[in-house]
A and B are shown apart, each in its own frame.
Chain A
Amino acid sequence: MDQELEQAALVALLRRGDRSWPQLTDQVETVGSARDVLESALDASGQGALFDTEPAVDLESIAAEIAAWGRDGMRLVTIMDEDYPLCLRLVHQRPPFLFLRGAHIEDDLRVAVVGTRNPTPEGIAHAQAIAGGLAERGVTVVSGLAAGIDTAAHGTALAVGGRTVAVIGTGLRRSYPAQNTRLQEEIAEKGLVLSQFWPDAPPSKASFPMRNAVMSGYSLATVVVEAAYRSGARMQARLALEHGRRVFLMRSLMTHEWAREYATRPNTTVIDGADDVFNVLDSLVPTTGELTWA
Chain B
Amino acid sequence: MATVVGLSDRYANFLVHPLLSGPGVCQVCRGTANPGYPSCRQCQQTSSLLGPGVADAIVPVSLALKGEQYANELWRYKNAPGPQQLYFRTGLAAVLWRFLALHEACVAAHCAVPSFDIVTTAPSTSGRENHPLRTMVAEMVETTRDRYRDLLTPAPDAAALGRNPSRSRYTSAALWGENVLVIDDTWTSGNHAQSASAALKAAGAGSVAVVVLGRHLNNSYGDTATLVQQARLRQFSWDTCALRPWHHG
Which A residues are within 8 Å of any B CB, using their own CB?
22, 26, 29-30, 32, 86, 89-92, 241-246, 265-267, 283, 286-294
Contacts and interface: CB of A to CB of B under 8 A. Distances in A.
A291 B140 contact: yes
B64 to A, nearest CB: 12
B6 A294 contact: yes
Contacts of B91: 244
A291 B79 CA distance: 22
Contacts of B129: none
B4 interface: yes
Nearest to A292: B3
A52 B62 CA distance: 48
B1 interface: yes
Contacts of A243: 14, 69
Contacts of B87: 90, 286-288
Please report whether the interface of chain A is mostly helix, strand, loop or mixed according to DSSP. Answer: loop
B112 interface: no
Contacts of A288: 2, 86-87, 89-90
A266 B140 contact: no
Contacts of B76: 26, 29
Interface residues of B, number: 42
Nearest to A247: B13
Contact of B97 (A32, A283, A286, A291): A291
A291 B101 CA distance: 14
A22 B89 CA distance: 21
B82 A29 contact: yes
Across chains A and B, which 6 residue pairs bring their CB atoms closest together, nearest first?
A92-B72, A244-B10, A266-B12, A241-B13, A29-B80, A288-B86
A246 B141 CA distance: 24
Contacts of B71: 92
A286 B83 CA distance: 12
B2 A287 contact: yes
A89 B84 contact: yes
B5 A294 contact: yes
24 contacts: A22-B67, A26-B72, A26-B76, A29-B80, A91-B69, A92-B67, A242-B13, A242-B69, A244-B14, A244-B69, A267-B12, A267-B13, A287-B1, A287-B87, A288-B87, A289-B1, A289-B90, A291-B4, A291-B7, A291-B93, A291-B97, A292-B1, A292-B4, A293-B4
Interface of B: 1-7, 9-14, 67-69, 71-73, 75-76, 79-84, 86-91, 93-94, 97, 101, 140-142, 235-236
Contacts of B68: 92, 242
A266 B2 contact: no
A288 B86 CA distance: 6
Contacts of B93: 291
A290 B2 contact: yes
B4 A294 contact: yes
A277 to B, nearest CB: 16
A30 B11 contact: no
A32 B76 CA distance: 12
B14 A241 contact: yes
A91 B87 CA distance: 11
Given A86-B84, A293-B142, 13 more contacts: A89-B84, A92-B68, A242-B14, A244-B13, A245-B10, A266-B13, A266-B236, A283-B6, A288-B87, A291-B2, A292-B4, A293-B97, A294-B4
Contacts of A91: 69
A294 B84 contact: no
A30 B79 contact: yes
Nearest to B70: A92
A247 B72 CA distance: 21
B171 to A, nearest CB: 30
B109 to A, nearest CB: 23
B142 to A, nearest CB: 7
Greatest chain B CB density within 10 A among A90, A92, A244 is at: A244
Given A90-B84, A244-B11, A291 B142 contact: yes
